[in-house]
Chains A and B, each alone.
Chain A
Amino acid sequence: MDVVLGIRLKDCTLIATSKSVTRGISVLKEDDDKTRILNEHNLIAFTGEAGDTVQFAEYIQANIQLYSMRENDIELSPKATASFVRNQLATSLRTRKPYQVNVLIGGFDTKTGKPTLNYIDYIGTQAILPYAAHGYAAFYCMSLLDKHYRPEMELNDGLKLLEMSIKELQTRMPMDFKGVIVKVIDKEGIRKIDV
């Protein structure tokens, strides 16, 4: 029941992930970060099968960074990054043991100057969305975001919207997910925000 939420705003993308790690009825950790930095302007947030998630995210991270090293410090765009990740998951789906990982990729395209949010599930379904969530969180958040989201929102409006979503999840979800880590991707790069 991990929470992974993303909102694309006017000139940045917000990513929020829950801090709890659970196994069965136990909470094992309450300061977990379910994101990995792929390059200066791309962040991957993930949920899914326990072992697969970190393994997959770090494999992607390594490959994206390898690309930059080989190509003379050229950064892979959000679109290319998302296509690469989708291709990995779609290929993995038809193997003996597919990666069961769902991801959101928050990015900022330095060429076009636009923020992006990519939704990709373990099947390889890819969608570019204004706001997205994986798992049960999506059921509670989407209607709220449908009503309040505006494409021209600035960072602080986005954070208010995020706060509304988290509040809704805290009241409706059966489990305490120990709050969220919020990260912003904009033209300056990736940074953590205290909430």
Chain B
Amino acid sequence: MSDPSSINGGSALAMVGKDCVAIACDLRLGSQSLGLANNFEKIFKINDKVMMGLTGLASDVTTLHELFRFKNNLYELREERKIEPSTFANLVSSTLYEKRFGPWFTGPLVAGLDKHNKPFICGFDSIGCIDYAKDFVVSGTASDQLYGMCEGLYQPNLEPEDLFETISQSLLNAVDRDTLSGWGAIVYIITKDKVIKKVLRTRQD
């Protein structure tokens, strides 16, 4: 009931395809049972080839988004290059562990392509333990349902178009079995030369 990571609700997931990755989230922002907004995006751009998802306590989602934007800006100024997804994952991990005994109540995801355009995805727990995966990672109040959908639908080496279908169906059918998630969805497909954003039509209950 008063578990911070399930007050506002919301879910996200990321998947690996053939020379591409996909990351998706729902759009609900709630206060317990009451729906507040249906335009609360939980996926944020880090650079042209790296994106992150942040689910959990909405306050911490906003705070961490601002914090990582700040840290990434400093990184780009100091290094004069774009951050690699694996490097960014370690930045997220150490940032979360800084608050080991009073954590941020979020479950972040990182998805992107490295400098050789090799797909990279990973998830974290609230204190920064990295969950490296070669297929998919999930996060949020519908994570149980997402695991089920992904286990059932995922197959390796999907082309961007097929990966979009797979991640969309996984997300949509998972959030429909979770009262705290849903109210719209957004999918990003990251390929070596562009990022495609798609807004999904979903159930509104």
Contacts and interface: CB of A to CB of B under 8 A. Distances in A.
Nearest to A124: B59
Contact of B34 (A86, A89, A142): A142
Interface in A101-126: 119, 121, 123-126
B63 interface: yes
B102 interface: yes
B102 A121 contact: no
How many residues of A sit at the interface, in one of the four size bands? 10 to 19
B8 A125 contact: yes
B60 to A, nearest CB: 8
Nearest to B34: A138
A86 B62 CA distance: 10
Contacts of A86: 59, 62
B6 to A, nearest CB: 13
A103 B171 CA distance: 33
B29 A125 contact: yes
Given A90-B62, A125-B8, A125-B29, A119 B34 contact: no
Contacts of A123: 7, 57-59
Contacts, number: 41
Q: Is chain B's interface secondary structure helix, strand, loop, or mixed overall?
A: mixed
A142 B30 CA distance: 13
How many residues of B sit at the interface, in one of the four size bands? 10 to 19
A143 to B, nearest CB: 10
B36 A119 contact: yes
A139 B59 contact: no
Nearest to B33: A139
Contacts of A148: none
Interface string B59-96: 11011000000000000000000000000000000000
B38 to A, nearest CB: 10
Question: 9 closest A-B pairs (Cβ-Cβ)?
Answer: A124-B59, A125-B58, A127-B37, A123-B59, A125-B59, A90-B59, A127-B36, A90-B63, A127-B29
30 contacts: A86-B59, A86-B62, A89-B59, A90-B59, A90-B62, A94-B102, A119-B36, A121-B31, A123-B7, A123-B57, A123-B59, A124-B58, A124-B59, A124-B60, A124-B62, A125-B8, A125-B29, A125-B31, A125-B58, A125-B59, A126-B58, A126-B59, A126-B62, A127-B36, A128-B37, A129-B36, A129-B37, A132-B36, A138-B31, A138-B34
Given A124-B62, A124-B63, 17 more contacts: A86-B59, A93-B59, A119-B36, A123-B59, A124-B58, A124-B59, A125-B8, A125-B29, A125-B62, A126-B58, A126-B62, A127-B29, A127-B37, A129-B36, A129-B37, A132-B36, A138-B31
Interface of B: 7-8, 29, 31, 34, 36-37, 40, 57-60, 62-63, 102
